[in-house]
Amino acid sequence: MNEGLYIQGISLLDFARGPALRWAVVVFVIGVVWRLGAMLLYTRRDLSRPNAASAPGGVKALLTRSAPPHELEKDIMFQHYSGYAWHISMFLVLLLFAPHMLFFKGILGFGWPTLPNLFITIFTVLTMVLLLILMVRRVTNPVLRQISTTDDYVSWFAAFLPFLTGVMSYTHITFGLRYEDMLALHFLSICFLLVWFPFSKLMHAIYIWPSRYKVGAAFARRGVRA
């Protein structure tokens, strides 16, 4: 038996890491597959004679788009590198925090080396601080405010909450909640992220690849590096 909240005989923690997580994964998988349906729309055949093969340009753009030429990048430095920083930090925390690795090991059956907690703490703080700065930027910068939708704000919460609940669980700063309940909230925040993912811009984690490929291929066909 766990400590903490019980609802109809099942602890909140068992609910969060049991049925809630399982259903969240089901929604995630079905939702992602469904949303990728956009790529099944009619494809137009280009009848012009190509200057060069398009596929190599598409493959190249998968990586080169991460490093735009200086004249294009010079005015987006902060946004560009803060984006890199928090995404990389997020993946480090997700995959190299020992309890996370153990959780995945329980599912996959194998584990991997992890980072000391000090580093995990640094990366967690870095991610949260950058996410906060980027949110302030989104609401104050006229360009961003103009193109922002509810999706942007909800997706921000979906990304931020697992870090917040994770830090609170890890540090036991739970404002009166039992550790088990805090951990349950951490799992529930992950469930929310998984369920929200297919309905939101979080899908960019998948769409970025076909999109980069397609722009790379389109330009390469004309003999231009994208």
Partner 1 sequence: MSATMESVPDFGALGERAASSLQPESLTDAQRVARARQAFIAGIDADMATYLESCIHCGMCAEACHFYIATKESKYTPIYKIEPLKKVYRRELSPLRWLYRLTTRDVTAAELEEWQELAYDSCTQCGRCSLLCPMGIHIQSMIQVVRNGLAAAGFAPAELQAVSVEQRDHGTVFGAGPDQLLTVIEQVRAKGVEVPLDKPKAEVLVLSSALDFLRDASVLEATARIMNHVGADWTVRSNGFESANFGALTGDKRAQAKISRRIIDAAVACGAKTIIVDECGHAYPVLRWEAATLYGKELPFEVLAVSEFLAQEAKAGRLKLRKKANGIPVTFHDPCKLGRMGGSLQDARAVLAALGLPVKEMESHGRTNLCCGGGGGVMMLSRAKGLRQKAFELKREEVERTGAATVVTACNTCMQNLELGKEWLNWDKDIVNLVQLVSENLA
- Rounded Cα–Cα distance for residues 79 and 12 (Å): 39
- Rounded Cα–Cα distance for residues 120 and 103 (Å): 16
Smallest gap from residue 95 Cβ to partner 1 (A): 22
Please say which residue, 8 or 146, places its beta carbon nearer to partner 1.
146
By the rule CB under 8 A, 203 interacts with partner 1: yes
Asked if 165 and 186 count as a contact pair (C-beta separation under 8 A), the reply is: yes
Asked if 191 and 13 count as a contact pair (C-beta separation under 8 A), the reply is: no
Binding-site size for partner 1 (CB under 8 A) equals 61
By the rule CB under 8 A, 82 interacts with partner 1: no
Q: Which of residues 47-76 bind partner 1 (CB under 8 A)?
A: 47-49, 51, 61, 65-66, 68-69, 71-73, 75-76
By the rule CB under 8 A, 140 interacts with partner 1: no
Cβ–Cβ contacts within 10 Å for residue 190, how many?
Answer: 22
By the rule CB under 8 A, 2 interacts with partner 1: no
By the rule CB under 8 A, 146 interacts with partner 1: yes
Asked if 191 and 15 count as a contact pair (C-beta separation under 8 A), the reply is: no
Q: Using CB under 8 A as the criterion, what x/- string covers residues 108-127 for binding partner 1?
A: --------------------
Only one residue has tokens 């997700």, namely 94
Kindly tell me which residue out of 25, 27, 79, 98 binds partner 1, with binding defined by CB under 8 A. 79
Inter-CA distances, 51 with 63, 64, 207, Å: 22, 20, 27
Residue 109 Cα to chain centre, angstroms:
24
Residues that bind partner 1 (CB under 8 A): 34-49, 51, 61, 65-66, 68-69, 71-73, 75-76, 79-80, 83, 141-149, 151-152, 199, 201, 203-204, 207-208, 210-216, 218-219, 222-226
